[in-house]
Amino acid sequence: MKRICVIGGSRYFGKVLVQRLQAAGHRVTVINRGSAPPPEGAEHLVADRDDEAALTGALGSRTFDAVVDQVCYTPVQAAIAARAFSGRTRRYVMTSTIEVYDPATAALPVLPPGTPVPEGAVDPVGWLVRADLPWHDAAYLQAHYAEGKRQAEAVFAQHHGFAFATVRSAHVLGGGAAEFTGRLVHYTERIAHGTPITVHSAVLPTVFIHYEELAELLLWAATLTDATGPVNACSDGPLDVYGLGRVIVAQAGRKAVYRSVAAGESASPFSFDRHYAMGNARAKRLGFSFSRTTDWLPGAVTEALATTAAPTC
């Protein structure tokens, strides 16, 4: 049995993570601002992670075997957490994102389309941290989401108070109404209603992961491996928007209508005119086994269709 702290953990795959940690026999403490209670049986600490004094006060004398940080978006938040948990935990796992590899948001190595992007394409150990930028501004943070994640990773990677791993998640799907991004419903609604789906004329594939599989990988990263550094988290089998559409069409029984736009123009979620589909080889070498996207995607589509409003005549 280990003592695990989860920052966030009250919804979607974070909630599943807490439940699976408990089922594995671990003692779980959840920290959030009190907006939602954690799963039954987890210790609940109410604190704003942006308030260092409040966070350290809530932690008291507690120590942990591992911390899983679900809601770290900026280097400022990472620096507060690094100070607060130094000497309190042996291991720190941050949930990050595929977006750190987006070449539209930083100067990154260029790989040919079809080449899975490895973790080394973004090395947090050497990444420049700019804590003086306006990370407190919601509009700035939204516009610089990928860079906020890269710099948050860098703060932890350059800190020496604990072992650090970052799980870079692919696009998360599944869960029906719990999937709060609404990106899969964007497709199910348009196909169900015959509304055109805007896609790039030269669309490239991306990678996905089921929310339960991501929770399982985070459990593994926190409790079953000592690996440090970045780990990509994606199911096997890249898919472009047309492949995604075919799965939805098969479930919905309706045709998909597409409208093409040029490179650089806005399009539907998961339509990419730039390559950054990451690979999962490192996680596999470390012992984690992934499912295939096409195995679980039909079930996720069924859940999304159940939340899609029926077309009106």
SS (H, E, C) the chain: CCEEEEECCCCHHHHHHHHHHHHCCCEEEEEECCCCCCCCCCEEEECCCCCHHHHHHHHCCCCEEEEEECCCCCHHHHHHHHHHHCCCEEEEEEEEEHHHHCCCCCCCCCCCCCCCECHHHCCHHHCCCCCCCCCCCHHHHHHCHHHHHHHHHHHHHCCCCCEEEEEEECEEECCHHHCCCCHHHHHHHHHHHCCCEEEECCCECECEEEHHHHHHHHHHHHHCCCCCEEEEECCECCECHHHHHHHHHHHHCCCCCEEEECCCCCCCCCCECCCCCECCHHHHHCCCCCCEHHHHHHHHHHHHHHCCCCCCC
CA distance 150 to 176: 29
Report if residue 191 sits inside a domain. Answer: no
pLDDT of residue 311: 62
pLDDT of residue 180: 85
Please check whether residue 116 is in contact with residue 148, taking contact to mean a CB–CB distance below 8 angstroms.
no
pLDDT digits (tens, 9 = 90+) for 219-238: 999 999 999 999 999 999 99
Please check whether residue 154 is in contact with residue 128, taking contact to mean a CB–CB distance below 8 angstroms.
yes
pLDDT at 66 over 60: yes
pLDDT of residue 283: 98
Please check whether residue 99 is in contact with residue 105, taking contact to mean a CB–CB distance below 8 angstroms.
yes
Find, among 217, 301, 214, 223, the residue nearest to 13 by Cα: 214
Report if residue 309 sits inside a domain. Answer: no
Report if residue 194 sits inside a domain. Answer: no
Residue 169, strand partner residues: 97, 233
Report if residue 271 sits inside a domain. Answer: no
Residue 270's pLDDT band (boundaries 50, 70, 90)?
Answer: very high
Q: Using alpha carbons, list the distances in angstroms from residue 225 to 28, 130, 213, 253, 283.
A: 18, 31, 16, 44, 10
Mean pLDDT of the 87-114 span = 96
Report if residue 25 sits inside a domain. Answer: yes
Report if residue 62 sits inside a domain. Answer: yes
pLDDT of residue 11: 85
Find, among 58, 67, 61, the residue nearest to 28 by Cα: 67
Report if residue 258 sits inside a domain. Answer: no
- Token representation of residue 231: 């780990």
Report if residue 189 sits inside a domain. Answer: no
pLDDT at 119 over 70: yes
CA distance 8 to 20: 15
CA distance 166 to 285: 16
Residues making up the chain, counted from first to last: 313
CATH of the domain at 223: 3.40.50.720
Find, among 256, 236, 243, 231, the residue nearest to 204 by Cα: 243
The number of folded domains in the chain is 1
Rounded (5°) CA angle 229-231-236? 165
pLDDT digits (tens, 9 = 90+) for 142-200: 999 999 999 999 999 999 999 999 999 999 999 988 888 899 999 999 999 999 999 99
Please check whether residue 171 is in contact with residue 98, taking contact to mean a CB–CB distance below 8 angstroms.
yes
Write out the residue range of the structural domain in which residue 126 sits.
Answer: 3-178+206-236+279-291
